[in-house]
């Protein structure tokens, strides 16, 4: 009888611990407004507010997934164990391609590579926004260019695993986007061909480190093309040249596992005679309207090569890349693209001479779905 009672007590405690392990992480949800994850190289989902909208509802799940307690500890443990035992990465974060190349491995990324995630309705909505923005700026004589930050898979697709097949009968996201932007006559830079040509002689995306973005050399290729496109509309914009930078290399360690996987990556540093006069002004974060948790940056350079002002609504591909602009433009405003609805206010307030909208390719299978108002934005 005593043994039976002891067994029931043990079973009860076991069940209690089991239930606690399931629910405790959710009870300790991290509700900090802004969380930037170095592990996943992204900003974790912010609270979307209370809505009764099918498009927004999915983001409540993303919010909980990103902020559950002990999340990064659990991911680190799983990644380390999987790599140590099998020499592979978790399919949720990264994977090996051919010749030691590392790629993101989330489902959206892979499906986009296979041409299975090309959402024409979303692309139409996005193109409508860009078209209306371009027409609005054209009337004021302000050059406008859309820049795509390409996924590594789009440039190094031949390095993706052979077991992941591509449906070549369907358009990729970037192919459809380029076609529709051409039809609407919206100026754009989607540098697929140029980066594929450049990779024949140099690395434009790192082999391992930060596989979600282009490296410094890829940035230079993309931004020089952007500069050329802008100069077609305003020849007074100074050229972006490499001679004002020092190109060096820096050893980087992958942060998503604790095992020592390192890589020498290229780094551009603006020469002192150009960088000394660049000042960062953080006051606009408190002045300009913006979505909570997003970035508003202003760089002032009284000794810039021109007295022009550039406004950039940007994605992560231009994070930390202000020096590619600040030595040429007297004022550089870099604002997170999530603030797309405030474009007219920014233009009327900041009086830019050039406007750029930069968007990562992977956003078309990620957070761009949360922006349901793209096609509804109009300009007075």
List the chain pLDDT tens, one digit each, 380 residues: 466 777 767 777 767 766 666 666 666 677 776 776 655 556 666 666 666 655 555 566 667 777 767 676 776 676 677 666 766 655 467 888 999 899 998 888 999 999 999 999 999 999 999 999 999 999 999 999 999 999 999 999 999 999 999 999 999 999 999 999 999 999 999 999 999 999 999 999 999 999 999 999 999 999 999 999 999 999 999 999 999 999 999 998 876 656 567 899 999 999 999 999 999 998 988 899 998 878 899 999 999 999 999 999 999 999 999 999 999 999 999 999 999 999 999 999 999 999 999 999 999 998 877 777 889 999 98
Which residue in this structure is represented by tokens 């093309």? 225
- Do 62 and 43 meet the contact criterion of CB atoms below 8 Å apart? no
Q: CA torsion sign, 349 to 354 to 360 to 365?
A: positive
**Strand 309-314 and strand 354-360: pairing?**
parallel
Q: Measure the CA dihedral 282/283/286/291, to 10°.
A: -40
User: What pLDDT sits at residue 95?
Assistant: 84
201 — phi, psi (to 5°)? Answer: -120, -10
Cα distances (angstroms) measured from residue 132 to each of 157, 175, 181, 376: 33, 21, 12, 10
The backbone torsions φ and ψ at residue 207, rounded to the nearest 5 degrees and listed phi first, read: -70, -40
Q: Which residues contact 301 (CB under 8 A, 6 or more apart)?
A: 277, 278, 279, 326, 327, 329, 330, 331, 332
State how far the Cα of 151 lies from the Cα of 213, in Å rounded to an integer.
7
Closest C-alpha to 171, from 105, 109, 120 = 120
């Amino acid at each position: 009888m005593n043994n039976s009672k002891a067994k029931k007590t043990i079973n009860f405690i076991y069940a209690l611990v089991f239930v606690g392990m399931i629910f405790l992480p959710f009870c300790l949800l991290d509700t900090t407004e802004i969380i930037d994850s170095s592990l996943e190289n992204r900003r974790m989902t912010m609270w979307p507010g209370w809505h009764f909208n099918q498009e927004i509802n999915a983001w409540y799940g993303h919010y909980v997934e990103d902020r559950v307690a002990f999340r990064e500890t659990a991911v680190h443990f799983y990644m380390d164990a999987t790599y140590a035992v099998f020499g592979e990465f978790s399919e949720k974060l990264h994977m090996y391609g051919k010749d030691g190349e590392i790629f993101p491995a989330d489902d959206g990324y892979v499906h986009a590579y296979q041409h299975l995630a090309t959402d024409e309705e979303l692309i139409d909505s996005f193109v409508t926004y860009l078209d209306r923005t371009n027409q609005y700026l054209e009337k004021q004589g302000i050059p406008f260019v859309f820049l795509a930050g390409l996924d590594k898979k789009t440039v190094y697709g031949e390095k993706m695993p052979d077991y992941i097949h591509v449906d070549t009968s369907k358009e990729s996201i970037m192919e459809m986007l380029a076609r529709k932007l051409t039809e609407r006559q919206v100026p754009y830079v989607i540098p697929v061909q140029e980066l594929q040509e450049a990779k024949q002689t140099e690395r434009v995306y790192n082999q391992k480190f930060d596989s979600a973005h282009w490296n410094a050399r890829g940035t230079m290729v993309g931004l020089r093309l952007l500069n050329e496109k802008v100069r077609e509309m305003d020849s007074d914009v100074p050229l972006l040249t490499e001679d004002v930078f020092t190109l060096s290399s820096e050893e980087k360690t992958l942060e998503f596992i604790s095992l020592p996987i390192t890589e020498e990556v290229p780094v551009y540093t603006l020469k002192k005679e150009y960088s000394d006069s660049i000042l960062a002004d953080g006051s606009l974060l408190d002045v300009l309207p913006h979505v909570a948790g997003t970035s508003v940056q202003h760089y002032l350079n009284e000794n810039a090569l021109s007295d022009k002002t550039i406004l950039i609504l940007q994605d992560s591909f231009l994070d930390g890349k202000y020096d590619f602009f600040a030595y040429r433009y007297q004022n550089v405003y870099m604002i997170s693209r999530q603030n797309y609805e405030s474009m007219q206010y920014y233009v009327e307030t900041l009086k830019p001479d050039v406007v750029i909208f930069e968007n990562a390719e992977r956003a078309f299978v990620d957070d761009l779905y949360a922006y349901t108002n793209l096609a509804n934005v109009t300009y007075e």
